[in-house]
Amino acid sequence: DIQMTQSPSSLSASLGDRVTITCRASQTILNYLSWYQQQPGKAPKLLIYSVSRLESGVPSRFSANESGTDFTLTISGLQPEDFATYYCQQTYSTPYTFGRGTKLDIK
């Protein structure tokens, strides 16, 4: 199974800050990497797919990149609605594993 090691597990930041979340895959996953945002009590919502492509309607302050098997999600200029939990997921091969999540809260 492909392991997705996500860090940090939690992060405190202020409005307007820039934050970065990282996921490392245990082996190559090509471009089969997505990022999800989950608000408390809600289902996860796709933010970014195929490593760096923004889902329709997602603000441009969200961006993502990759370097080999390391993947990053960056939020530039945090807004109140961005404080949530973020997950990466690989869909290169089954089981389609998720990272353990990063909880982003207000400092």
Which span sits near another protein by CB under 8 A: 20-28, 49-57, 62-70, 76-84?
49-57
Nearest distance from residue 25's CB to another protein, in Å?
15
Q: Which x/- pattern, by CB under 8 A, does the window 15-34 give for another protein?
A: ----------------x--x
Q: Is 81 left (phi over 0), alpha (psi -120 to 50) or beta?
A: alpha
Total residues binding another protein (CB under 8 A): 22
The phi, psi pair for 40, rounded to 5°, reads: -55, 130
Looking at the Cβ atoms of 72 and 90, the one nearer to another protein is 90
Q: Which x/- pattern, by CB under 8 A, does the window 86-105 give for another protein?
A: -x-x----xxxxxxxx----
Nearest distance from residue 80's CB to another protein, in Å?
23
| Maximum Cα–Cα distance across the chain | 38
Give the HSE-up count for residue 77: Cα atoms under 13 Å, Cβ half-sphere. 5
The pair of structure tokens assigned to 84 is: 């949530």
Sign of CA dihedral 101, 84, 43, 32: negative
Give the HSE-up count for residue 91: Cα atoms under 13 Å, Cβ half-sphere. 7
Is 43 a binder of another protein (CB under 8 A)? Answer: yes
What is the contact surface with another protein in residues (CB under 8 A)? 31, 34, 36, 42-46, 49-50, 53, 55, 87, 89, 94-101
